[in-house]
Amino acid sequence: MHSTSPETPGLATAGARSPAVGTNNGNIFTGDTTLQAPPALPLPPDVSAPDGLHNLPRPVGHRFVGRMSEMAILEQALRPRNERAATHVVTQAMSGLGGVGKSTLALYFARTHLSDYTAVWWIDAETPETITSSLAQLTTRVNAGTDTSSMPSAILAEWALTWLDTHPGWLLVFDNATHPDHLAPYLARLTSGDHLITSRLTYGWHDLAATALHLDVLTPPAAIHLLHQLAAPGPSSEAAAAQELADELGYLPLALEQAGAYIRRTRNTYSGYLYRLRTHTARMLNTPGNGDPHSITIARTWRVTLDTIAERDPLAVHLLRVMAWLAPHDIPRDLLNGIADEPDADTDALALLNDFSMITLTEGTADIHRLVQALARTPDPKDPHRSDSAISQAQSTAATLIQDALPNNPETNTAGWPRWRALLPHIDAYLTHTQPDTDTAETDGILYSASRFLRGQGQLSQATQYARRSVITSARLNGEDHPSTLTSRNNLASAYESAGDLGRAIPLYEQTLTDSIRVLGEDHPSTLASRNNLAYVYESAGDLGRAIPLYEQTLTDSIRVLGEDHPSTLASRNNLA
């Protein structure tokens, strides 16, 4: 049997004992069961804002340092509403690398200016669901006397939006926003207060009429000051170690906080932590300073970001691992061109990394934080982005890219010298981060060519270091008598000679000539070059009695083997003259 309630047209009932209910705030008795109707909330305009309404997280446990200029920018943008038109809403976005201190700055601003707003509400903006949940909590707080536990979050969030619409003068902090589209509906509707957004994303905020502020790392003095606050200054003998640790951590606030808390909790020293960081990088970056296994760490923070990036473009994560083997600043973008099979795929991957603040792009270069590099170079079996095989592949790729980018004839090709100077920091970084016993043929090629360029530029200490490592690598890979090893040995002797170390140069030249005759033969061009080099170093030592016969023999053999007009023959004739 179906009936229609005469008192409330349109309300239908089903069954002989079914009631028709419009609005009910209490129990419903059917004769069979008792049902509790959800409570009705008052109309949003009728509910005033409690004094000092906010849900801000607890403040950080140390004094705020190093962000005064950024704080001034926020205060200028989000100045008190009574100083601007009532209809003027400000949306301010802060972007930056995870751990750079965006949330800390937002919290400091919100707490400092709490009394300037009718309400300040902190919204977890990581997903649309967390935004809804945070708004629902606002409804529950404002309606403190009403049990809202049985009401859907979406209904509660909608009530909160209406309440905000009718109670101007608030500040909403959208923390850790992962996409502008998640916020767009709220920013378009909520126009009677201010919005402060923190995000690792650098793009998309201008589409929401948001002013952008990009946070960089702390200045060195501010970073050291923060370390001292957290870990205590320590003895004067540790001052240099504190500076070195701050530099090693790249002046990144979260890394500094993690290190400072660890040092204080474990009664450690700056130098002790620095040693552990360098020898057990993965462990230290994943160890909370306060010992709480649920605390945020650098490794966990960036793992979340890399998960998101990997879902969109796995090439971007590989590219980040490759960049980890280079210097952190001024990486030539064209150096990375050969990393992708598809045209422009590397450009898209770089843009994605920049979008999430993992790197900083300019038209021609890319920068990456040194701690991001350290993490990306360090294997961790618990992190799918840092497996042994993935990191080894990235290391190999970096070597190939560097070798392919090296200009030919490093000593005489002056047009290639600017390119060499741009690549040298990355060559040095790569060779610093790799162990000699893992050097490959590509690494040997880099060592050999770089040592020749450095020798020609007068940078003899580094040239000798690279040449020595090249000899060791070639001997390990190819054998002592391989032509490449003989060439590397000759190059090392030249480096010694250029440095004026004839005591090392002469025996090495003599050994190389003897081995070249035995392995390659008297008339091989490499043997002729070795004989000419030995004659030259004898001359430099003032031993003309040995120099002149070698010059004469080399010239005679060069004419016979290479011809009168060959460049090597001409050089030999000039040396003898």
Average pLDDT over residues 134-149: 93
Rounded CA separation 318/350 (Å): 11
Q: Looking at the DSSP assignment, which residues form a beta bridge with residue 120? A: 54, 171
Helix (H), strand (E) at residue 562: helix 544-562
pLDDT at position 332: 96
Q: What is the mean pLDDT of residues 17-44?
A: 57
Determine the Cα–Cα distance for residues 373 and 218; give it in Å rounded to an integer. 18
Report residue 164's pLDDT band, with 50, 70 and 90 as the boundaries.
Answer: very high
Q: Tell me what the mean pLDDT of segment 209-221 comes to.
A: 88
DSSP string, 338-402: GG-SSTTHHHHHHHHHHHTTSEEE-SSEEEE-HHHHHHHHS--TT-GGG-HHHHHHHHHHHHHHH
* pLDDT for residue 209: 75
3-state secondary structure 201-265: CCCCCHHHCCEEEECCCCCHHHHHHHHHHHHCCCCHHHHHHHHHHHHHCCCCHHHHHHHHHHHHH
pTM for this predicted structure: 0.80
Least confident of 145-149, 219-223, 441-445: 145-149
Strand positions, DSSP E, 419-522: none
**Do the Cβ atoms of 340 and 313 come closer than 8 Å?**
no
Q: In angstroms, how far apart are the furthest CA atoms of the chain?
A: 129
Do residues 224 and 246 lie in contact, with contact meaning Cβ atoms separated by under 8 Å?
Answer: yes
Q: According to the model, what pLDDT value does residue 8 have?
A: 35
Q: What is the pLDDT of residues 515-550, one digit of tens each?
A: 988 988 888 888 888 888 888 888 888 888 887 887
Q: Which pLDDT band, with edges at 50, 70 and 90, does 2 fall under?
A: very low
> For all residues of the chain together, what is the average pLDDT?
87
pLDDT by residue (tens digit) across 64-85? 788 999 999 999 888 755 454 4
